[in-house]
A and B are shown apart, each in its own frame.
Chain A
Amino acid sequence: MELAKKILKILEHDAKISPKSIATMLDTEEEKVLQVLSYLEKEKFILGYNAVVNWDRFGENGVEAMIDVKVTPAREVGFNGVAERISRFPEVTSVYLMSGAYDLSIVVTAETLKDIALFVSHKLSTLDEVQSTTTHFILKRYKQDNFIFEKPQEDRRLVVSP
């Protein structure tokens, strides 16, 4: 499991590093890294690999909102039942159980503001367990998953130095 953790730490920062390079970095065999990776993927330690995209650079105008949701926990399943149900909607990209003034924080993406409004009014609010929602639209992204959203920075170092 120590090796697995080390592999995950490396991939967490850069999922494109090849198993061969990881093996070199960790003084082990490529075969071994591949084995661990397939175990981690099968057992859902690794849920997937996706690129962190700055769509603004393309001029695409999708909309994203964070919605605070108060819910009534259900017998037996607590918050899990409703959280899992909400997670099924394809427009929902993240769902978190929170401490504090509300219970669930969910992230929703759609093409337009109206789509999100419709999702809230037609799908989310109509769930029996949902007591209330507060929708916050994301206006601009500055940092996400460790990446700062800015124009590519050139290497400012001298090309050759002693």
Chain B
Amino acid sequence: MTSNMGKYVSKTVQTIPPSGIRKFFDLVSQMEGVISLGVGEPDFVTPWHIREACFYSLEKGYTMYTSNQGLIELREEIALYMRKHIGVTYSPEREILVTVGVSEAVDLALRAVIEPGDEVLVPGPSYVSYAPGTALAYGVPVAVDTYAEDEYRLRPDMLEKSITSKSKVLILTYPNNPTGGIMRQEDLQALVDIIIKNDLIVISDEIYSELTYNGKHVSIAAFPGMKDRTIVFNGFSKAFAMTGWRIGYACGHPDLIAAMNKIHQYTIMCAPIMAQQAALEALRHGESEMRKMVENYNYRRKIMVAGLREIGMDCFEPQGAFYAFPSIAITGMNSEEFSEKLILEEKVAVVPGSAFGRTGYHHVRCCYAASVADIEQALERIDSFLARHRKG
């Protein structure tokens, strides 16, 4: 092996820090008997009728490319769904792009709008890919902190404080991974004027929108004056338990969708037709199964939060997604130390909050997409861990 090929790696890639989760994954994956609250996906397998629809489409010979934008039938269903779900009408022909998961859509949107040096406002804690995605598009990620005492909502003053003449994009990601925070109607309303005044584009990742527990999900795109400047992302991974299918979509102004499609057509061509066929089935016939799964997450959310509080951990009640984000301040440890000790001593995997941004250093993410028995067992183990590690 040649000794130093690393010098050929681009500066941009070199400067991106490795995922905080990766190191932890290596530690956990060799252990036996671990209860994992560290996952980022549903514990359900994709509903059978969706899998079966995919088999059927394969049997019929649907194995070819689709149009770059995705099957028109699927885009039509997405348009119907979005009108019903967030009250915004998108043209299936010009305003919807089917992508390889929301991850691809985030990358496309960032590359489509960012000029080198443009600043992208990323509220944190949040999912791990926005800042690296920005850097790969030669933009500059600017963290905007959110806090447990605000229920992890993005506060207008925090946003305003972070805006400079270079700010171009605001990322909104609610319901939020890892905090479970959501933005209600009034919280979003408070941001609208600031966004318009500063001429920002909003990238709104709403992948967890169906997993909103008290009340209905609201999208910023539904506010007057916001549809054109917002690109909304959604997909099938979380609500329909379809993570491995890698299928999502973006909805927005025709100019922005066309720009994203330009990158998409040269890099990806189109989302896999099998996944598109399955997604079509999910939107046409998947609602009742999806509702059952959501009800189940809600039950387990309550078990998790009540359990964490009972063993003395301070935990904001998550309103969406399937994560609880308790504080570990009572141990005096930082989140990486806590997570590492917890896995070694008690074989419970959680994800250090620091992986999601600087306000996550004293929190860990606990996923409750696990069986009630596993959640209760994990809580018992965390309890005995705390008994040994409570600070003075």
List residues of chain A with CB under 8 Å of any chain B CB.
10, 14, 16-17, 21, 24-25, 27, 155, 157-162
Contacts and interface: CB of A to CB of B under 8 A. Distances in A.
B36 A160 contact: yes
Given A21-B303, A25-B299, A157-B41, A162 B19 contact: yes
A158 B43 CA distance: 11
B302 A160 contact: no
A160 B21 contact: yes
A99 to B, nearest CB: 27
A14 B300 CA distance: 13
Nearest to A25: B299
A129 B28 CA distance: 66
Interface of A, helix, strand, loop or mixed by DSSP? loop
Contact of B25 (A16, A24, A160): A160
B39 A159 contact: yes
Nearest to B376: A21
A24 B303 contact: yes
Contact of B41 (A14, A25, A161): A161
Given A21-B372, A155-B43, A162 B29 contact: no
B38 A161 contact: yes
B372 A159 contact: no
A160 B349 contact: yes
Contact of A158 (B25, B177, B298, B303): B25
A25 B38 contact: no
A158 B369 CA distance: 13
Contact of B302 (A16, A25, A158, A161): A25
A27 B355 CA distance: 32
B344 to A, nearest CB: 14
A16 B377 CA distance: 14
Contacts of A27: 302
Given A10-B299, A161-B39, 7 more contacts: A21-B376, A27-B302, A157-B36, A159-B38, A160-B39, A161-B38, A162-B40
Contacts of B39: 157-161
B29 A159 contact: yes
B110 interface: no
B16 interface: no
B324 interface: no
Contacts of A21: 303, 372, 376
Interface string B29-52: 100001010111101000000000
Nearest to A10: B299
B382 interface: no
Contact of A159 (B19, B303, B349): B349
Interface centre among B19, B177, B349, B372 (most CB of A within 10 A): B372
B128 A24 contact: no
A147 to B, nearest CB: 14
A27 B21 CA distance: 34
B34 A159 contact: yes
B299 A160 contact: no
